[in-house]
Structure 1
Amino acid sequence: MTKLIAIDPGHGSDTYPPNKGVPGMAEHSFNAAVAHYVKPLLESSGFQTMYTQTPNASERPLRQRTEDANHRRADLFCSIHADANANSSVRGHWAFYWHTSELGKRLADVWSHYLSRETGTHHRGNVGSKPNHWTNFHVLRETRMPAVLMEHGFMTNPQDLARLKSDPFRRQSAVALAKAICDFYGVPYKGEEGKRYMEVQSRVLRKKFEEVINDGANRGLIGKSIPDQYEEGKLPVDDAIAAVAAIVTAKPGSTIPHAHKSAVKKAVASGVTNGERMNEPATRAQVMTFLDRTGQL
């Protein structure tokens, strides 16, 4: 049976500022790039993949991300991150796994081996996450499959930061992760062989597709790199499908409970909301905006 790998690009494009980054680099920019690069590498080697959240888009709540992976019965959960520390001399990569998961520990160790081999970066050692400890990470505690949270380096260390901002390092990190997963399952790594890109033959449908993804990118529903990749002929088919799905599911629809439809209709008409994502939690920033639009601030 084909294995399903859950790719979790840590945080979202709306998390820096105020945190999850340093001057000169938002953490998510690194996480999203590695997630984007590793997906086709895994698929070419015979794996199925899923994003827990769209790269370069607003952050989804942790609970939704782990529930999605659990619901789809993913076989592995890989959370991609870059680290930070008050001490700027702290550097190197390390990984976290749930302390009772032998398979999680094995994946963390295999990943560390390949990242060191591909990039030459310092390995700090891997850590078993535990309850009532600072390592009690949601994505490791609440997932039902082997899960690893991977910290590729410290944004607060000048040498590590230079690497994290480098596109070659991001690509090498993706290769290391893909090779680690292939090694974990004992399958050959095939690189980008067999990769399929999105190509719409019909002129009418092509124009419509371009309108949809450009509109989705402008509204922040998908990453702004998606239209550029398509224009360059480098948008993988699966990424195109995921982008359209993200746009379609964000539209106002009939899934709003009947008891709330009247209020939603009034809110849309008065400009409080555009009617999208009605069944998703609101961020603090969105709540402040709603209050401002209704004259409560």
Structure 2
Amino acid sequence: MSRSDLASPRPPLATFRLTRAVAAQWLVVSAVGFFGFAYCFGHVLAAVRGVALEPIVIEATLQPTIFGWLAISLGLLVCVVVPHELIHGGVLAYYGGSAGYGVGVSHFLLPYAYAETDGTSYTRNQLLVALLAPFVGLTALGLSVMVVVPSPLLVVPLAANAAGSIGDLWMAAVLCQYPADVRVGGLPGADGRGFGIYGSSRSTAARIPGTPLLSRFVTGGVGTLAAVATYALVAVLLSLAFGTGDVVLGDPDAGWLLFRHVRRADGSAILEIGDGPLLGVAALGGLSWTVIASVRRHLVRG
């Protein structure tokens, strides 16, 4: 669910707007997130099969069938998007709205499908359920099927649904910073895409203590992971185009590795990802951004 046109006569006490900057961040995090979620679901699949996930061997024989895999993946994506939005709309309708559906491109950057209601406001918890239901429900369903049919094909729709839920998770994180007694409706005069947070007084819409710091930490951590993943992907592509395809981030001899992609003589490749060091780097990035953002906010206020 990427937009909400929920009208309200009162001025909002706080707002969230899908600006060009936010759309660009969603696009980057969703693209990187697809591979991150695929890796996580790959771990689940490996556990179900009782084998180790890494090192991941990418066989050279897979290259000629890439278009076949792409066609299958696109078909699975369509099978994911439709139920994803139907779940959004079903929950919104359950809480009193009349759901409509559509597709669009935000700021010429972010293609999206959406479910929306007109003229309806929701409690914070109701909208949280509507935002999170497709991510939680389809993930639970996919993992249940994976236990019965442990096929790698299931990793693609699971990762696609999770990556397509980035905007939902982002908006849910914003809502979680406010108390449960606020209501959520549209922006005044349908002024752009997003939502307004409404309450009887400004104190009722004040952020829950500690959540601004947590928000900055998560933003910094996710941004750090996205930066590392983007750098690794670009480095691999450049190395394949102009070099050997070998890319190593970290120092395996010293006991820490972020990422390794090594191309073998037979054309296959080995991929390894260091879970622990990556999480450590993400935590460091989150702490750094928390300090930077807090100091900057203090200076602006001062």
When the two structures are superposed, what TM-score results if normalisation uses the length of structure 1?
Answer: 0.30
Greater helix share, structure number: 2
Return the structure number with greater strand share: 2
In terms of Rg, which structure is larger?
Answer: 2
